[in-house]
Structure 1
Amino acid sequence: MPQDLVLPRPGASYESEPPVAGPTESAFVETFGALLPAAQFLQTPRGKAAYYEIKPSISSDGNAKIDKVLFIHGVQTPALGMLPLARALEKSFPAAHLVLIDLWGHGLSDTPVVPHEASLFHELIENLLDHLNWQSVHLVGFSFGGATTVSYVASRPSRVKSFTLVAPAGLLEMSMFTPEEQSCLQGHGDDVAKKCVLNILEGGDLVVPADWKQRVANGEVVAEAVREWQMREHPGHTASVVAIFRDGGVMGSHAHFDEAAKAGIPSLAVLGELDGLCSKDQLNTHGFDNVFVVPKAVHSVVRDRAEDVAKLVGDFWKTLEKQ
């Protein structure tokens, strides 16, 4: 399948096609090392999705309140980008079963040749929870994963025990973009849209740090290198990124935020002070009161300041344990 794959837009008619297969685990490990636990694969009618389990290191006898946690990554950087936060939380919550998933078109997961609307990702979460036999879960969503968490909570509140949003997308508005960007996001010139979306996401051309191999060897997650690898090795990745940005709920999900805030489910939001994607005031306006801002942090706060984020999430979870 060529790199110029274009995914159907919502409402368009399209013929059924098999999914575009994701890369192999061995190819990923060869480049980035075995930082993640061994991949497991969920087979669904849409294709196969990779997930990674960090199992409890102590037995809780079924009494732990923070028992089952699913981490949902953002657009571009796959499950590996959530690993620093998951590892930091694992230390404080050894009885918790933590799972990270590669969303469609990311990491080792396939790209289904269907519109990438929020409902496609809700279905994937639902399939994974059923596969794990998890009736309900604590969700931690970053960026697009935050927007997906919010819309999932709004549509399936009974399956969510608590949710944490880290630098969530979803509250962008088309008016925030330049007229040129608006026309390519709304139009159907797919080559133009691809260039435009990647430019918005990267703020220009993707630059991989020269020392990335050394940093990876030291156990670091170098997101730029992971993104470049996916664009090269996953034939469906770029098409999924463009489709998610246009149709997945990155923009205009305000009503879902309102609904999720009213669902009566405990929530936390953690933002980077220097991140323009989402502000404390915006979240307060939509009914979220438990919002913390990490000083001098940018959008990649989930990785760059994983320990700070983990402290805030840990404090939130400890309040739930006392209830």
Structure 2
Amino acid sequence: MTKHLGLSPRIIRKALIMSQDPVLPRPGASYKPQPPVAGPTEAAFVETFGALLPAAQFLQTPRGKAAYYELTPSSSKDDTTEIDKVLFIHGVQTPALGMLPLARDLEKTFPAAHMVLIDLWGHGLSDTPVVPHEASLFHQLIDDLLDHLGWPSAHLVGFSFGGATTVSYVASRPSRVKSFTLVAPAGLLQLSMFTPDEQSCLQGDDEDAAKKCVLNILEGGDLVVPADWKQRVAKGEVVAEAVREWQMREHPGHTASVVAIFRDGGVMGSHAHFDEAAKTGIPSLAVLGELDSLCSKDQLNEHGFENVFVVPKAVHSVVRDQAEDVANLIGDFWKKLEKQ
């Protein structure tokens, strides 16, 4: 079901024994305030992957430090420019860099747009706050970033967990969203889809068991970092496998954030939020991979989403693998908005 989100057994074993992994509190639990787990440095990331992204900027919040990246407009906008401010929200595991191919493709068609990509908590260069990783934690991060940028509202593009977060954000803060696009969104999984043992681990208090369970659910086979990944990165390509392995190794809070997001962040059981987001009437688009079992066109139709497109033969990583196709669909959607 979720093998497309895979991690290798070797990486999982390493994650399970990392002594620096924090234990993050669950929703409703009492806990003492602690400083966040610091993310890696930009220098460490650039040393490994080069300067694929624009220079990181950092947002200081009460919960910790979050990294974001700006693609500034290359042409001036006029009064007819509807697509002016765009925020990209990535999924679990692969950080903002995974959304860069899509953003670059859209940048070509919408040069007057100001586009921003953010590293969510526990991903990329952003800290891991030692607090429950509920949807509201990520809503507040989006609020803080929009306020920092001086954006009263924006067009949102969310992938996977970022899609689930986008949906719940729209449902709770419709005034801050001009339009939203969901690419292979999470959120419609149900706890009942998992085995009884998995359900017990996901809901129980044994943190080590929960970590093992979540990482095994997300495993789905070996994570093989391509032998030529350095050459591909040098050409400007995003090699997601290498990025995921780097985070597991270099970000001491990453694994804890991944586990907490899967359990508490809205990856499962967000059906009501989909209903509420659809009912807002805010213009929306959904783009799915034909071979992705995480979300189907029928499911989205049932929740009130009508503007749904399926990319043939695409899997969950459609946002990167078929970035041009996804960008064309989003571009058509945005152009219609500009004509209204």
Q: TM-score range by the shorter chain?
A: over 0.9
- Does residue 227 in structure 1 map to residue 219 in structure 2? no
- Does residue 287 in structure 1 map to residue 287 in structure 2? no
Give how far 1:62 is off: 4.9
The residue aligned with 1:94 is 111
The residue aligned with 2:215 is 198
The residue aligned with 1:114 is 131
Gap regions ≥5 residues in structure 1: none
TM-score, length of structure 1 as denominator length: 0.98
Structure 2 Cα separation of the partners of residues 95 and 50 of structure 1: 23
Contact 1:199–1:205 at 8 Å: present in 2 too? no
Give how far 1:305 is off: 0.4
Aligned-residue CA RMSD (Å):
1.1
Structure 2 Cα separation of the partners of residues 201 and 304 of structure 1: 19
Structure 2 Cα separation of the partners of residues 194 and 294 of structure 1: 33
Give how far 1:308 is off: 0.3
SS in 2 for 1:202: coil
- Does residue 215 in structure 1 map to residue 225 in structure 2? no
Query: Which is further off, 3-12 or 229-238?
Result: 3-12
The residue aligned with 1:244 is 261
Residue type of the alignment partner of 1:295: P
The residue aligned with 2:52 is 35
Query: Which is further off, 199-208 or 160-169?
Result: 199-208
**1:17 aligned residue (34, 46, 56):** 34
Structure 2 Cα separation of the partners of residues 154 and 9 of structure 1: 23
Percent identical pairs in the alignment equals 88
Residue type of the alignment partner of 2:248: M
- Does residue 185 in structure 1 map to residue 185 in structure 2? no
The residue aligned with 2:141 is 124
Contact 2:91–2:162 at 8 Å: present in 1 too? yes
Residue type of the alignment partner of 2:331: G
The residue aligned with 2:62 is 45
The residue aligned with 1:322 is 339
Gap regions ≥5 residues in structure 2: 1-17
Structure 2 Cα separation of the partners of residues 30 and 130 of structure 1: 31
Contact 1:66–1:321 at 8 Å: present in 2 too? yes
TM-score, length of structure 2 as denominator length: 0.93
Contact 2:160–2:184 at 8 Å: present in 1 too? yes
Residue type of the alignment partner of 1:290: N
Contact 2:74–2:111 at 8 Å: present in 1 too? yes
The residue aligned with 2:43 is 26
Query: Which is further off, 216-225 or 138-147?
Result: 216-225
Contact 2:80–2:338 at 8 Å: present in 1 too? no
Deviations 1:192-229 (A, max 9, x none): 22122122223144332232222222211111111110
Structure 2 Cα separation of the partners of residues 62 and 103 of structure 1: 32
Deviations 1:132-166 (A, max 9, x none): 00001000000000000000000000000000000
Give how far 1:36 is off: 0.3
Deviations 1:240-293 (A, max 9, x none): 000000000000000000000000100000000000000000000000000000
Aligned length: 323
Residue type of the alignment partner of 1:98: M
5 Å-filtered alignment, 1:298-313, equals 298-313=315-330
**1:66 aligned residue (83, 88, 92):** 83
Structure 2 Cα separation of the partners of residues 238 and 260 of structure 1: 30
